[in-house]
């Protein structure tokens, strides 16, 4: 049995299928860890969703910001123009089934000393604390207030976590940290507008994984989201977004032995 963590697919079904062939993936005994951003910008979001849904328990999928954006649009949020390629999902005959499946994916997955999350963790969160907060979001997405929540989710504020936060502000900070985080200050204030390489951090900010003594150093974080960072490893971090949708590569890492596999986007 092997476990393959795969970076942001973003609707690029052909590279994803090539990756499964490359690693000789066997759903009867192997497992996939998908870091989120299954959809959008790429040409085949619908095929990606169907393929991962059909893998059942052989694929562990955490939600990324583009996946949540799809759920927000389906709930009635006004769509942005530009590189949004979600129409094929929204017009599909099995749309409701796919959206139901997607909304019930977690925001975090923990297995041993590895954590699967789309973007990152705030420096003051232990893995246990982050899991509990992620579950609050999952419970809301599966509950009667899911649509209200999705329509309130957009925005960058509050910029930092507080245990005193309640309601939509509380859930929005959790989602922004887990699915959009790149840069933050040492005390956990997020800058969600900066998207450049780590050396281009805004004043007073740093990559979230470089914050000294962050509480999640007990685990290896497996994430994506940051195409300007690319495929990158350091102790405690495996970053897998190598820009497949931008003409880069789709990257997979086998957890058991750190073997790396790549296919062109």
pLDDT at residue 83 is higher than 80: no
**What tens digit of pLDDT does each residue of 132-155 get?**
999 999 999 999 999 999 999 999
**Phi, psi torsion values for 222, nearest 5 degrees:** -105, 120
Q: Which domains does the chain have, with CATH numbers?
A: 3-264 (3.60.21.10)
Q: How many CB atoms lie within 10 A of CB 104?
A: 12
DSSP category for residue 106: -
pTM: 0.97
Give pLDDT, residue 78.
Answer: 81
Joined together, the tokens standing for residue 226 give 């940051």
Q: How confident is the model at residue 79 (pLDDT cuts 50, 70, 90)?
A: confident
Residue whose entry in the numeric block shows the structure tokens 């900066």: 194
- What's residue 225's pLDDT? 98
Contacts of 24 (CB under 8 A, 6+ apart): none
The pLDDT tens digits for 52-77 are: 999 999 999 999 999 999 999 999 99
Residues 170-219 pLDDT 10s? 999 999 999 999 999 999 999 999 999 999 999 999 999 999 999 999 99
pLDDT at 84: 84
Share of the chain above pLDDT 90, in %: 97
> Taking 70 as the threshold, does the pLDDT of residue 81 lie above it?
no
| pLDDT at residue 218 in the model | 98
The bridge status of strand 232-234 relative to strand 183-184 is unpaired
């Amino acid at each position: 049995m092997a476990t393959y963590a795969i970076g942001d697919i973003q609707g690029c079904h052909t590279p994803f299928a090539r990756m499964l062939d490359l690693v000789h993936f066997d759903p009867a005994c192997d497992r996939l860890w998908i870091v989120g951003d299954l959809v959008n910008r790429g040409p085949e979001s619908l095929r990606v969703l169907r393929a991962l849904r059909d893998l059942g328990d052989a694929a562990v999928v955490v939600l990324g910001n583009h996946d949540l954006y799809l759920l927000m649009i389906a709930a009635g949020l006004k769509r942005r123009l530009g590189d949004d390629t979600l129409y094929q999902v929204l017009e599909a005959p099995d749309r409701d089934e796919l959206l139901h499946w997607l909304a019930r994916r977690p925001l975090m997955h923990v297995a041993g000393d590895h954590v699967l999350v789309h973007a990152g963790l705030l420096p003051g969160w232990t893995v246990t604390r982050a899991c509990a907060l992620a579950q609050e979001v999952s419970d809301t997405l599966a509950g009667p207030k899911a649509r209200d929540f999705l329509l309130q989710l957009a925005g960058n504020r509050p910029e930092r976590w507080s245990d005193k936060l309640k309601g939509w502000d509380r859930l929005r900070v959790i989602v922004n940290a887990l699915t959009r985080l790149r840069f933050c200050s040492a005390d956990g204030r997020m800058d969600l507008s900066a998207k450049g390489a780590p050396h281009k951090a805004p004043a007073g900010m740093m990559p979230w994984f470089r914050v000294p003594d962050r509480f999640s150093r007990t685990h290896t974080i497996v994430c994506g989201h940051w195409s300007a960072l690319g495929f990158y490893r350091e102790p405690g971090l495996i970053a897998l977004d190598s820009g497949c949708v931008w003409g880069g590569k789709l990257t997979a890492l086998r957890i058991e032995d750190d073997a790396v596999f790549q296919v062109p986007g």
